[in-house]
A and B are shown apart, each in its own frame.
Chain A
Amino acid sequence: AQSVSQHNHHVILSEAASLELGCNYSYGGTVNLFWYVQYPGQHLQLLLKYFSGDPLVKGIKGFEAEFIKSKFSFNLRKPSVQWSDTAEYFCAVNFATSGTYKYIFGTGTRLKVLA
């Protein structure tokens, strides 16, 4: 079955520290990849997405992610986090073949940034 794994469930960083959140998926076909962010009490918002081309994609608020096909990974990075980045981050995969358009989400990573 298709699945998405996020290995870090809780991450605590100080401001200005660098961030990397891992995401791996289990599907060998064509995929679209996403990172969403959920600020406390709010709905999910798109941070960035990858569907083809340059495997290094840049999103909003200084976030970027790298797609490594051989590793089935799509890790999220930010060079210097801010207190306002405190949120929950979800990796998602859309399986785009065989008429399947389901989104599968990872279990999320709660990031707390200490001021």
Chain B
Amino acid sequence: NAGVTQTPKFQVLKTGQSMTLQCAQDMNHEYMSWYRQDPGMGLRLIHYSVGAGITDQGEVPNGYNVSRSTTEDFPLRLLSAAPSQTSVYFCASSSVGGVPEAFFGQGTRLTVV
């Protein structure tokens, strides 16, 4: 029972580098989302998707891109990393029927130097 799988768990980037955080879920959930968690600020929504081919911006989308080509995968791309993007990133998924309980991945701790 994999649930939501995020990779990598840790990453150090230099300013200006790009990278992709991977997120995959095996629960056939329509809704997937990315959050960043910073001390004292809780979880802030970066981008979300309600199905393949559909994405939308959350609260803090600048500097990040997403795509949703399949139901299972929802990668988050950092185009040109900045120190302000140092954070812990969580991917979550949920169904859109019934009570949409969110299931979270283990998180990616990203440091930009």
Report A's interface with B, CB cutoff 8 A: 6, 9, 32, 34, 36, 42-46, 49, 51, 90, 92, 94, 96, 99, 101-108
Specify which chain B residues have a CB less than 8 angstroms from the CB of A44 in the assembled complex.
43, 90, 92, 102, 104
CB atoms of B99 and A49 under 8 A apart: yes
The contact of A101 among B41, B42, B100, B105, by CB within 8 Å, is B100
Given A32-B99, A101-B31, A103-B102, 6 additional A-B pairs, CB 8 A: A6-B42, A43-B106, A44-B90, A46-B102, A101-B50, A101-B100
List 10 A-B pairs, minimum CB-CB distance, nearest first: A107-B42, A105-B43, A51-B99, A43-B104, A44-B104, A108-B42, A101-B31, A43-B106, A101-B96, A105-B42
CB atoms of A46 and B105 under 8 A apart: no
> Is B74's CB within 8 Å of the partner chain A?
no
Specify which chain B residues have a CB less than 8 angstroms from the CB of A104 in the assembled complex.
45
Specify which chain A residues have a CB less than 8 angstroms from the CB of B94 in the assembled complex.
94, 101, 103
CA distance A36 to B92 in the complex (A): 13
Given contacts A102-B58, A103-B45, contact A92 B102 (CB under 8 A): yes
How many B residues are at the interface, by size bracket?
Answer: 20 to 34
The contact of A32 among B58, B100, B104, B105, by CB within 8 Å, is B100
Report B's interface with A, CB cutoff 8 A: 31, 33, 35, 40-45, 48, 50, 58, 90, 92, 94, 96, 99-102, 104-107
The contact of A9 among B40, B50, B92, by CB within 8 Å, is B40
Q: A75 to nearest B CB, angstroms?
A: 17
Given contacts A43-B106, A101-B31, A105-B35, contact A94 B100 (CB under 8 A): yes
CA distance A111 to B41 in the complex (A): 16
CB atoms of A107 and B41 under 8 A apart: yes
Question: What residue of chain A has the Cβ atom nearest to residue B48's Cβ?
Answer: A102
Specify which chain A residues have a CB less than 8 angstroms from the CB of B90 in the assembled complex.
43-44
